[in-house]
Amino acid sequence: MMTGSHCYCFFGIISIFFALIIHTLSSTTPPHFCLHHQREALLEFRDEFPIDEFDPNPWNKSSPDCCLWKGVTCDDRSGQVISLNLADTSLNGSFKTNSSLFRLQYLRHLKLSYCDIQGEIPSSLGNLSRLTLIDLSHNFLVGEIPASIGNLKRLRHVELGANTLIGAIPSSLGKLNQLRYLSLAANELTGDIPSSLGNLSSLLELRLSINHLVGQVPASIGNLNELQAISLSQNNLNGTIPISFSNLTKLYHISLRSNNFTSTLPSDMSVFHNLEHFDVAANSFLGSFPKSLFTIPSLQVVYLDDNQFIGPIEFVNTSSSSSSSSSSPKLEILSLASNKFIGLVPESISKFLNLGEINLSGNNFNGPIPRSISKLANLQTLNLANNNLKGQVPAYLLRVTTVTLSNNFFSSYENPSEETLIEALDLNSNSFQEPFPRWICNTKGLRFLDLSNNLFNGSIPPCLEDSIASFSDLILRNNSFSGPLPDIFASATELRSLDVSRNHLEGSLPKSLVNCKALQLVNMESNRIKDVFPSWLGSLPSLHVLILRSNEFHGTLHVFIGFRSLRIIDISRNDFTGTLPPHCFSSWRGMTVLREEDDPYMADIINESVFYRNSMVIGVKGVELSFERIQQDFRAIDISGNRIHGKIPESLSFLKELHLLNLSGNVFTSHIPRSLANLTKLETLDLSRNKLSGQIPQDLGQLSSLSYMNFSSNLLKGLVPRGTQFQSQNCSSFSDNDRLFGLEEICGKIQVSNPTSQQPEQLSEPEEELFSWTAAAIAYGPGVFCGLVIGHIFTSYYHKIWSKKNTISGR
């Protein structure tokens, strides 16, 4: 029999047991089905957008519980929809002003990024008062950001980046005092940064980059004491950085790149003691080297390039306030390029043992490369181009992956005693006067080699065959190499460009080049190569540029089979003879249509910091003007200065993308084909110094792009076309054609001869320098195809037109 105490204990145990059962059952009870009106609102919302057959409706209408649908989250207790995440679902339509979405009044999270949504953001969005997160990024949204977003006082995260939103940033965003993340980057926003953003006291990240914002950064930004990351890059902001910026001591990321700031940096950068990433490149910041910046132990990335900083650089000791756990500074990337720094590159740069990339190019540094750089075991990229450095190139640099030393005064190199790791070496435009570096024959991974614009001499060694299998670019132009170009290309299947122009090479073209299936450019200009036309190069599927200018090539040109990707050919100033068959250009698809898919090698060769940049030289009456790069869609044919005779081939009219045609200085006869009027993109036409007869086709007057032409020294007759482009030419473009008439407006003279004779009096205007051009090399740039190197001699009129079309672009 149980006593009272035992009975009390027993019932207590039973009570605990049942309580545990009830708790267990309640904790495993499934959530309520979503409410009927919520389910209907979701279905109506999805039906507002067209169904993509490749991305069908993710919700099963036959399933009664919408809380189990993809991307839908419900409250466990009430069944109300509280989160909608359809990221990466192709909705491919626009929001309706009265969209059923806005009936989901308990919605907290709305994530519709990468959904192909178009149209405007409805102001009705401001009615979802419980929202804490909005992500509509990476869509095609247009119009202005609705001010009603400022009504959503619970918002903590707003992401509207990567759309096409316009107008000003609404000042109502300053009401969102719980906001922690705001990104409006990569839109078309204009106007000032509203000072009301300084009210966002909880904000951790502010990203407004890649817009069209103007004015100064408001001082109120300095009130954001919790801010950890700010990105204002690629806008049109100007003026100074507000003094209050120094209050933002928790920042780890600062990016102000590509604006118009003109101030100095804060005098004491060490206040940003958490800073990891600092980017103020491409502005006009002034002042001396910010030494205090480099005392921050957490600093990892610094971009100061393309500003107006002056004076020497100096790296002082790391701040004593750093934690004892920091074994060494963490700096990994240092770019000081394109400033006005002077003096020596300090030995103390080696204190940053984690450096993987150094770019000091485009300054006025002098002296040798500091030996201490050999201590940087992690260094992958070193760019010291465009300085006044001199001395010997140390062998330890050959352990670095990418080395750019162009445009300095280096005169020798140290032979390596160990295996090299280098993949890209640019020694362009220095003072080397040595034979070809034999150690290059022992490299295994070298891809990019530029020794151009030096005084390297002797022969190109056959042992290069041992390493050339890895090469993508071999650039040896403008040196003093002599002898034959060795037949070493059998294994060079990765080679994209070969430029040995302006040397003293002899012999014939190496037949092994036919194995270089990736080859885009061959430049043999200004050597002494004696060979017939290499028609076998026509089998190369990606050959864009072929330059054989100013050599001793000879023989007929009757075989132009293949060359399907050719864009530029310059075989001028040789001794080619014979006639051109009527259909010889019919297979040249690279000049017929623009097809980017024909160019599988447009990506950068190795690294953003290495690219093959060439210059374009325009000579106007003996004065050479240098430009860089031309548009990648440029197409040109120059076969001038040979002895080719017969008719101009009709198949030239198939080359719809042709911009430049130079047939001057040959022995072409018969008429100028009327079909040349089909070349609607033609900008330059030179048919001078031939034996062409008949009239200049009147249809050529309709070529609106034709800005330079030369028909001089032929047997032409009749009326000069009346088109605007013809009437703007120099008189010398038509000289030495005694039977041409209609030149009064062009030459500024009234003809006095009998008009029935169709023979005007001899024109007395002195003839200008005749047009010719030189094409040189293809260029590769960061992530893009960077164009071609063309040397030209134009008239002053054509130079004026051309120079407006070409820009210089850097890293």
* CATH code of the domain covering residue 543: 3.80.10.10
What band does 46 get if pLDDT is binned at 50, 70 and 90? confident
Is the distance from CB of 218 to CB of 194 less than 8 angstroms? Answer: yes
Best CA proximity match to 496, nearest among 353, 604, 655:
604
Same domain, 506 and 643: no
Q: What's the confidence (pLDDT) of residue 659?
A: 94
Q: What's the confidence (pLDDT) of residue 632?
A: 66
| SS3 at position 779 | strand
| SS3 at position 232 | coil
Locate 768 and state its tokens: 């200008």
Which of 514, 531, 548 marks a domain boundary?
514
Same domain, 565 and 621: yes
Same domain, 674 and 776: yes
Q: Which of 22-36, 244-258, 443-457, 705-719 has the lowest mean pLDDT?
A: 22-36
Summarize pLDDT for 740-753 with one digit per residue, the tens: 998 887 887 544 33
Same domain, 372 and 403: no
Domain membership of residue 798 (yes or no) is yes
Same domain, 358 and 411: no
Same domain, 546 and 659: yes
Give the span between the Cα atoms of 453 and 475, in whole angstroms: 10
Q: What is the DSSP letter of 135?
A: E
Same domain, 644 and 774: yes
Domain membership of residue 736 (yes or no) is yes
Locate 138 and state its tokens: 């990476």
Summarize pLDDT for 95-129 with one digit per residue, the tens: 998 999 999 999 999 999 999 999 999 999 999 99
Q: Average pLDDT in the 609-613 region?
A: 37
More confident residue, 624 or 428: 428
State which amino acid sits at residue 454.
N
Is the distance from CB of 246 to CB of 221 less than 8 angstroms? Answer: no
Q: Rounded to 10 degrees, what is the CA torsion of 408, 412, 414, 416? A: 80
Which of 481, 514, 547 marks a domain boundary?
514
Best CA proximity match to 482, nearest among 498, 502, 459, 463:
459
Summarize pLDDT for 553-605 with one digit per residue, the tens: 999 987 778 899 999 999 999 999 999 988 888 888 889 887 654 444 433 33
More confident residue, 682 or 58: 682
Domain membership of residue 792 (yes or no) is yes
Give me the count of residues in the chain. 811
Q: What are phi and psi of 775, to 5 degrees?
A: -100, 140
Which of 475, 495, 514 marks a domain boundary?
514
Domain membership of residue 148 (yes or no) is no
Domain membership of residue 198 (yes or no) is no
**Domain residue limits at 400:** 394-514
The total of structural domains in the chain comes to 3
Domain membership of residue 177 (yes or no) is no
Q: How far is CA 350 from the centre of its chain?
A: 31
Q: Rounded to 10 degrees, what is the CA torsion of 793, 797, 801, 802? A: 0
Q: Mean pLDDT of all residues in the chain?
A: 84
What band does 338 get if pLDDT is binned at 50, 70 and 90? very high
Q: Average pLDDT in the 499-503 region?
A: 97
Q: What's the confidence (pLDDT) of residue 595?
A: 60
| SS3 at position 241 | coil
Same domain, 339 and 426: no
| SS3 at position 781 | strand
Same domain, 474 and 360: no
For residue 7, pLDDT over 70 is answered with no
Give the span between the Cα atoms of 176 and 66, in whole angstroms: 31
Domain membership of residue 691 (yes or no) is yes
For residue 418, pLDDT over 60 is answered with yes
What band does 24 get if pLDDT is binned at 50, 70 and 90? very low
Which residue in this structure is represented by tokens 């100028």? 672
Same domain, 423 and 333: no
Q: Which of 211-220, 574-583, 662-671, 763-772 has the lowest mean pLDDT?
A: 763-772
Domain membership of residue 416 (yes or no) is yes
Same domain, 469 and 532: no
pTM of the predicted structure, to 2 decimals = 0.83
Q: What's the confidence (pLDDT) of residue 36?
A: 86
Same domain, 508 and 524: no
Q: What's the confidence (pLDDT) of residue 631?
A: 55
Summarize pLDDT for 278-336 with one digit per residue, the tens: 999 999 999 999 999 999 999 999 999 999 999 999 998 754 444 434 456 899 999 99
Locate 481 and state its tokens: 């190499």
